[in-house]
Structure 1
């Protein structure tokens, strides 16, 4: 007797959904990391430029260079602000995808648990049938021996 799980197709679909959710989560994680790296790079540029400007002010800097540096800092600030917004959106998307992945994992585990319980029940039924057959064989042998 072969075991067949009646919800096998549903389990397959749930597994596929889980794999898709995992793939989506990994893509959103990669996007989050890319935005975070870019933001870090911009912050590092700003810090380096401010340090360079402070050093040049000590040694003497023309007004035109100060204006140029201030304009460049303003542009970096705009980029930083933009990437901070992107980072917030990427983090929110990452958290949402993580939640979806957790829900899919829970669904799959529920069906796997159902499958496991169903399989244990199947094995118990087989054992019960075998015991009945052994009892019948034993009874038949006993009656044959009694008649002889």
Structure 2
């Protein structure tokens, strides 16, 4: 069950910031039902949530993931973002915005340095893109350097 809780938290974070869709969550839940002899009722409810709003699905995922270390989940997601940027460097600004939204949605008392970096780098992109301060390529380089430290946490996802 711990593996399902961790995956539910990853799906919650990823859906919260727009990295994945409701359909990805439903596909995951369907797969979990198929491979489990006795699937949890919450997973069945997720599987049947196609007509629900994303916020409702996020809420259900939070119920499933109770007790999971959110910081570890975030590190995994940051590693996944790093892999995504390496595959397609053009996604870096979209991912920056997704991470900023994730930063705003997380409810952690002590937001560590990585949380502050997520906010800071998105602001840097905004300033550089508008010609106010900095160079976009330098910001991209710092962003990739920041995410690289989380590469070791990445897992196969969605899945």
Q: TM-score range by the shorter chain?
A: under 0.3
The structure, 1 or 2, with the larger RCO (C-alpha pairs under 8 Å, 6+ apart) is 1
User: Normalising by structure 2, what TM-score?
Assistant: 0.21
User: Normalising by structure 1, what TM-score?
Assistant: 0.23
More helix by share: 1
Higher Cα Rg: structure 1 or 2?
Answer: 1
